[in-house]
Structure 1
Amino acid sequence: MDPVFLLMLLCLGIGAVAGIMAGLLGIGGGLIIVPTLIFLFQHLLGMSIENAMPIAVATSLSTVIFTGLSSARSHYTLGNLDKNIFKYSAFGIAVGAVAGAQFASMISGVMLQRIFAALVILIALQMVFNRHRRSEHEVNKGILGGIGLGSGFVSALMGIGGGALIVPALVWFRVNIKKAIGCASACGVVIAIFGTASFIYAGWNRPYLPAYSLGYVYLPATLGIVITSMLTARIGAKLTSKLDTVKLKRIFAVFLVLVSIRMMIGIE
C-alpha cells in the first residue's frame, strides 16, 4: 500500500482517539497527535527525527484550527466566552504563537523533542495534582497579555491548542471555570491560526519536506485527523456523564509521562 495513503488512513484513527479524549477529558489532542505523528513519519515516510519533529508539531497545530472553531462556537452559544478576557489575551497569544513556531523551526529536532517531552510531563503533573487554588489578584489587561504571550509561545512550540495552560492560569486569577474553558477554546483558534501560518512561512521551500506539505504542515495527516476528530469530540463530551473522568485523567497523565520518558531517552 502507498505509504502516504496508509498514513492518512492511520490518521483517521488518530483523529478519532484524539477527539474522544479531548471531548471526554478536556485536554488538547496535540498531546496524543504529536508523538504518534513522529512515529508514523519516521517509520512510514523514512524521516529523521530532525525533520519529523517540526512537521509533527506544525501538523498537529493545524488541526486545532478546525476542531477549535467548533468548540469555540459552542462555548460562545452557551455564553461562556468573555469578550474582554479574549480581547486582551488575543494579541499576546498571536505574538507568542508566531514566536513559538519560529523558535521550534530554528532549534534542532532532538532539542524540540526533549522540550516537548519535558513540557508534557509538567502538564501531566498539573492534571494529577491540580487543586484549583486561586490567587488573591484578579485578571487585568497586563496579566491577560502575559498569559496570552506565554501560553501562545509554549502551545505553538508543542503543537497544542493551549487549553491545558490557559485554563489553569485563568482559574488561578479568579476567573470562573466555565468562562476559563470558553475563553481557552477561542484562544486556541488564535494560537492555531497564527502558529500554523508561522510554521508554513518557516518551512516554505525547504528541500527536505515530503510531497503534499504546505511549509511544515503535512496536509494528508491534517485532513485525516480533522475528518474524524471533529465527529468523535462530540462522543467524548457525551461520555463525561457516564465515566469517572477524574480517574481517567490520572491514567492518561501516567500514559503521557511514559510516552514523554520514551521520547526523552530516544528508545525506538
Structure 2
Amino acid sequence: MKKLIVLAMVGFLAQLIDGALGMAYGVSSTTFLLAFGIAPAVASATIHLSEVATTAASGIAHFKFGNVDKTILYRLIIPGSVGAFAGACFLSNLPGEIVKPYISAFLLLLGFYVVFRFLFTFKNGEVKEAKPISIKQSIPLGLVAGFADATGGGGWGPIATPVLLAKKGMTARKVVGTVDTSEFAIAVSATLGFLISLGWETVNFLWVGALVIGGVIAAPIAAWLVRKVPAQLMGILVGGFIILINARTMLNTWIINGSYAALIYGTILLGWAVAIFIGLRKMKSEKMNAKERRTLIKAKLG
C-alpha cells in the first residue's frame, strides 16, 4: 500500500512537471521504476500505459486553456506514433544506453539556446507567431522523438519541446501545450507496441493505476500554470530543465568521480537561478516602462 501511495505521488509530481514544462513524466517515472529493479522494457510499458490516461487528461486541459497549436499537433501525431510503435517493438534489441548520451549532448546545446533566446532576445507581450513547422521538418522530428520516447521510457518532450522552442516566434505556452497534448497518440502507439511484444501479463496494473490517479489530478493544475506563468519565465524554466535533465544523462554515462558531478550540478543550478533572477528583473523593468509609456500617451491625449 505504501508503494502505491508513493507511486501516486510520483505520478502527480511527474505530470505536474510534464504538463507545465512539456517534458519529464517518462524520465521521472521510469527512474523510479528502475530503482525497484524493473526491467527497462517493462518499466517503459508501465509508464506508457499510465500515460494514455494522464496525457488524455492533460490534452483536454491544455485545449480548454488555449495552449495548443492544432497545425503543429496534427503534423507531429502520425510520425510520432510510428516512431513510438517501432521503438516499443525493438526496445530489447536497441543499444539505447550507447546512443542516449549523444542525443543528450545535442539537447543540452538546445537548452542553452532556449535560455539565451528567452533571456535576451524575447520580449514579453510578443504576439508574432512563427509559421508552423513544415511536414518535412515534422516527420523526422516525430519519428526520432517517438522512437526515443518508447526506447528510453521518456523522450518525446525532451526532444520535441526544445526543438520547437528553438524556432523563432514560437511561444513557450503553445509549445508546451502542443507537445503535451500530442503525447497521447505517442503513448497509445508505444503501449500497443509493448503489449504486442511483451504481453499483458508483464504489466502491473496496480502500479499503472496509482500513476494514473496522481497524473490525472495534476494535469489540469499544470495546464492552468502554463496559462498564468509569463512566457519569458516559462521559457527560462523549460530551458534550464532541459539542461539539467540532459546533463544528468551525460554525467551518469561519462563522469565517474562524484565530486565533479556535484560541482557541475551546482554550477548548472546556480546559473539557472541567476537566469531566472535576471529574467524576473527584466520583466519587471519592461512592465514599468510599459506603464510609463501608457502614462505619457494619456498625458499627450489629455
TM exceeding 0.5: yes
> Distance in 1 between the 2:208 and 2:96 partners?
20
Deviation, 1:122, is: 5.4
Q: 1:179 to 1:168 in 2, by over 3 A?
A: same
Given that 2:61 and 2:220 are in contact with CA atoms closer than 8 Å, whether structure 1 keeps it comes out as no
2:60 matched to which residue of 1? 73
Relative to structure 2, which stretch is displaced further, 155-164 or 86-95? 155-164
Given that 2:61 and 2:223 are in contact with CA atoms closer than 8 Å, whether structure 1 keeps it comes out as no
2:205 matched to which residue of 1? 219
Q: TM-score, normalised by structure 1?
A: 0.71
Aligned runs of 1:61-140 on 2, under 5 Å?
61-107=48-94, 111-113=95-97, 115=99, 119=103, 123=107, 126-130=110-114, 131-132=116-117, 139-140=133-134
Given that 2:81 and 2:146 are in contact with CA atoms closer than 8 Å, whether structure 1 keeps it comes out as yes
Picking from 157, 163, 166, the partner of 2:160 is 166
Deviation, 1:104, is: 1.0
Aligned runs of 1:141-180 on 2, under 5 Å?
141-160=135-154, 162-174=156-168, 176-177=170-171, 178-180=173-175
1:202 matched to which residue of 2? 197
Amino acid at match of 2:58: S
RMSD (Å) for aligned C-alpha atoms: 3.6
2:274 matched to which residue of 1? none
1:38 matched to which residue of 2? 34
> Distance in 2 between the 1:74 and 1:30 partners?
19
Q: 1:99 to 1:216 in 2, by over 3 A?
A: farther
1:183 matched to which residue of 2? 178
2:4 matched to which residue of 1? 8
> Distance in 1 between the 2:184 and 2:237 partners?
29
Deviation, 1:76, is: 2.0
Given that 1:114 and 1:264 are in contact with CA atoms closer than 8 Å, whether structure 2 keeps it comes out as no
Deviations 1:120-146 (A, max 9, x none): 56545644553459xx98622222222
Query: Mind listing any 5+ residue stretches in structure 2 that lack a counterpart?
Result: 122-129, 257-302
Picking from 19, 29, 46, the partner of 1:59 is 46
Amino acid at match of 1:191: I
Given that 1:105 and 1:202 are in contact with CA atoms closer than 8 Å, whether structure 2 keeps it comes out as no
Given that 2:46 and 2:203 are in contact with CA atoms closer than 8 Å, whether structure 1 keeps it comes out as yes
Structure whose CA Rg is larger = 2
Relative to structure 2, which stretch is displaced further, 254-263 or 163-172? 254-263
Given that 2:111 and 2:162 are in contact with CA atoms closer than 8 Å, whether structure 1 keeps it comes out as no
Which secondary structure state, in structure 2, belongs to the residue aligned with residue 8 of structure 1?
Answer: helix
Q: Provide the aligned length of Structure 1 versus Structure 2.
A: 240
Q: 1:229 to 1:161 in 2, by over 3 A?
A: farther
